[in-house]
Structure 1
Amino acid sequence: MELFVLWDIDHTLIENAGVSKEIYAAAFRALSGREPTEPARTEGRTDRLIMRDMFAREGLPVPDWHLIEAALAQAGEARLEELRRRGTALPGVHDALKAASTQIGWVSSVLTGNVAANARVKLAAFGLDSLLDLPVGAYGADAELRPHLVAVARERAQRLHSVPADVPTVLVGDTPRDVEAALTTGSGVLAVASGIHTQEELIAAGAVEVLPDLSDTKRVLGILESFAGH
């Protein structure tokens, strides 16, 4: 059975231990010449929205996107070793990704609010990048709203791997925005309460399949297989 699996990164696959907030602050500082007065507001939003919000809250004009993306990428690359030192891959993630990557007919990639360069940094810090088909993923530069990223990833999967348009898609993520992105695009969703949102909050957002984390590889694969059969 064929399946297109799209994994969120922060708090789903990895714990960034505050490094993400430092990347946004560093990018803001590089572009504005001063420190932000508040940390970035993330919670499943795309980098386009996160950075635009930071500048708006500071009462500053928003720089052109290509400048923001470059500043984010530079800040992320500079913090690779810090992320590796302070952060971690979450329980079971390596085994779950490896298992998904070996399923015949499955394409396993990412759907993340991070720009592509920083998605790669975060995954590479913990040896997860080789377990995912990153070229077909969707990233924070591709759209402002998370649900719109699903169409981007589907188009890339069709173009790069001839994945039929009707192949089931399932999102794996830790926020109500991940759940919303799945429900509004006809995708399945496996929600994990490994971030700041509880299992109850994820169920209230509309997720039917909710796990505390990805540590039970057999159960994770079973849930994903159930979407392949839809």
Structure 2
Amino acid sequence: MNSDSMQRVAVVGVGGAIGEAFCRALLDKPSIQQVFALGRHPAPLAEISEKVTPVAVNIRDEASIQAAAEHIDDNHLDAVIIASGMLHDDAVSPEKRLAACSSEAMHQLFDVNAVAPLLLSKHLAAKLKRNAEAKLAILSARVGSISDNRAGGWYAYRASKAAVNMLIKGMSIELGRQDKSLTVVGLHPGTVDSRLSAPFQANVKPGKLFSPAQSAGYLLSVLDGLDSRHTGRLFAWDGEEIAP
């Protein structure tokens, strides 16, 4: 199923630049009937379109995730897109040296980038249509590729994204046994012009800094071209498969 034929989609992380861009891009599709917008403060997105159903959720609280999922009927969605994630905040920044690593940063990034997508998938997978080529997509990152790591550093972020890549693989196997038409994939959005990337844009090559709308559009196009043959794998914004 491609995004031009999807009718109902849930997007998690709508408070972020890419999550909101996914919502807007989906609403441009004539087939879309409903977008469930999940985030801490999703209510303003309801002003975009009557097709948006805002659902408040704290992705670091499983009870909140479960409550949010109860707003969606089982066997109801064509796709779930988990676009939440964390690279840094006022207290945490990517480590350039081993000496800069801390237990607090490691726990926080694993919680947001790996545990949260796992628990969101746990509660939202049942909402996907069965035997209907539904899709579960989770934002990951190229830096989570172990074989592609040539620069070192960024220990907590790299490790948390490597972890979510393994979780995607595991979920693709289990959920694929229940529904062979289901596609579970990771998506790398490239470098997006947002608060997340703002401190690190100086070294981005010309033409490789995308607006949120660009990145979301690229990723929806990539997702359109994926099916159950590609499940369990990680793909970049340009369709390139990224090695584990």
Which TM-score band applies after superposition, normalised by the shorter structure? Answer: 0.3 to 0.5
The normalised TM-score by structure 1 is 0.41
The normalised TM-score by structure 2 is 0.40
Please identify which structure carries the higher strand content.
2
Higher relative contact order (CA 8 A, sep 6+): 1
